[in-house]
Structure formats: structure tokens, C-alpha cells
Amino acid sequence: MIDINLKYQAVLFGSYEEIAPKPEVIKYFIERFSDKELIPTTFQEFSPNGAVDRFSLSSSNGMWLIEFSSNRIDIHKVNKNIGVTDIGEIDQFYIEAKEIAKIVDEKFPKKHNRLSLISRYLLPEMDIKAMSSIYLKLNNTIELYKKNPIADWNNRTVSRISYNVGEDAELLNIISEVKRTIGNHKFNSKVEKIDRIELHFDLNTYQGNKDYRFDLDSFNKFLDTISNIESELKSSYLKLIE
């Protein structure tokens, strides 16, 4: 079962140079995102011509971050302080991502050439034996690894499958990753060590098609299509490793 919803991220790829840290741009987004109390800031984007200041918006608790790079818009919803922040279920994120994209589109109507949805989850804590058992269910490995605990591992699979996004067929990269995640995270405002199994999905349109074919309606239909794929992947992996 899923224990912690760790991160959701929607990405639109295209050309967004005009969404820059200018007073009128900042004023528009502060007013339109007043319900989320987002704070404007800048980050540096590096290019062959040097570093350029780009525009972003973030919430004070770190849960929301919207980044406007020159060639992509990233909408992040992250559980940075588990037990204090709660990013909710992914179905709610789909609704929120559509609303955010609509606000951006009203000021900067654009076409996009790629779309992506990323989700990350943590399973409940378990001992090394249980984690090694999950590894063996996912990997047909050599005897040495079958007979000994696995200290670190990562199972990543990529497939390209055609799905209908609305009425149009799109080739999608379906990327699933199951891994042992070892590191630090904040729980109830205290940094703690974690050692858990993570599920990570990245579902995106094929990078070989560079046509600017996605508008706001296409983005919404993409999320509708992806929601079913992501849900099926999640339930299938949970059943496999239970």
C-alpha cells in the first residue's frame, strides 16, 4: 500500500521566454494565485550565452512551486514536511494543474510540443528482508544477489505506447521506476533518515515529435488520459510486490 504521497509534477514544454520576472507579469500571477499565497522569486537558467534570471512562484511551506523556464513550465506539488504538509491525492492535483495552466494560458496563450506527468510515492517502512523480497519479485538476478541482502537497487522500465489524447493518437513514454530510496527527509519539521521503497512514474509524450500541437484543451485531455494510465500502473505494481 502507499504510505506517503511524495510529489506530483506536470510539465509543459515549448517556448516561454516572455514569461519573465517583469513587474506586470509578477503582478498578474500574484493576483491570480492569491488563494495559494505564492511568493515570486527568480532562479538562474544556464544557456550557451550565460546565466539568465527566470521567474518562479512558490508557497511559504514549500508545497507549491511553479517554474517558468525558457523552454518549459514546471508545476510542482511536493510533500516537503511530512506530517505538516499534505499534498492530497493525485486526482486533486489534476484539477489544480488544469486550473494553473488555464491561468497561465489566459495571460500567455501558447502551443506546447511536449507534455509530462510525474508522480512519486513511498511505501511503508519495512525490514531489509522484505525490501530484498520486493527486489527479487522485480528482477531475475544471479545467485549471489538471491542469497544476500540487496543494499541498494533500482528497477526502471520504459515502454512507448500509442494512446488517444482526446481524438488524436500520441506516442507516450511510459516510465516506471521502483527503487530502494535511502536519504533524509523532513518529518514533522525534523530531518530524519529514510530507507524505503519508492514508486516513481514519468508519463510523457514522445520527444521525437517536436510539433507545437498541444493547447490548453489538449493539456486537459492529456491529464485525463494519463490519470487512467498512472492509476493502472500504481495498482499493478502494488499487487505485484504485495
| pLDDT tens-digit map of 60-74 | 999 999 999 999 999
Burial readout 86-100 (b: 16 or more C-beta within 10 A, e: otherwise): ebeebeebbebbbeb
Give every CB contact of residue 235 below 8 A, 6+ residues apart in sequence. Answer: none
Please give the DSSP secondary-structure letter assigned to residue 36: G
Q: Of 180, 177, 56, which is closest to residue 119 (Cα–Cα)? A: 177
Residue that the C-alpha cell 507516450 belongs to: 172
pLDDT at residue 49 is higher than 90: no
Q: For residue 47, what pLDDT is reported? A: 79
pLDDT confidence of residue 229: 98
DSSP 159-223: EEEEEEETTEEEEEEEEEEEEEEEEEEEETTEEEEEEEEEEEEEEEE-TT-----B-HHHHHHHH
Q: How confident is the model at residue 148 (pLDDT cuts 50, 70, 90)?
A: confident
φ/ψ region of 79 (left if φ > 0, alpha if ψ in -120 to 50, else beta) reads beta
Checking DSSP bridges between strand 81-82 and strand 168-187, what pairing results, if any?
Answer: parallel
pLDDT at 212 over 90: yes
pLDDT at site 52: 85
User: Mean pLDDT, to the nearest integer, of 127-148?
Assistant: 91
**pTM: predicted TM-score of the whole model, two decimal places:** 0.95
CA 44 – CA 148 distance, rounded (Å) = 45
Residue range(s) defining the domain that contains residue 27: 4-241
* pLDDT higher than 90, residue 184: yes
Q: Where is pLDDT greater, at 45 or 205?
A: 205
Segment (H or E) for 95? helix 90-107
Percentage above 70 pLDDT, the chain: 100
Confidence check: pLDDT of 9 > 90? yes
Q: Say yes or no to pLDDT of 1 above 90.
A: no
Bridge partners, residue 45, by sequence: 52
Mean pLDDT of the chain: 95
* Structural domains of the chain, count: 1
158 Cβ neighbours under 8 A, 6+ residues apart: 173, 174, 175
pLDDT at 51 over 90: no
CB neighbours of 136 closer than 8 A, spacing ≥ 6? 146
State residue 242's pLDDT score: 83
Average pLDDT value for residue range 74-98: 96
Output the pLDDT for position 46.
86
CA distances from 27 to 24, 36, 201 (A): 5, 14, 35
Contact status, residue 153 vs residue 179, Cβ threshold 8 Å: yes
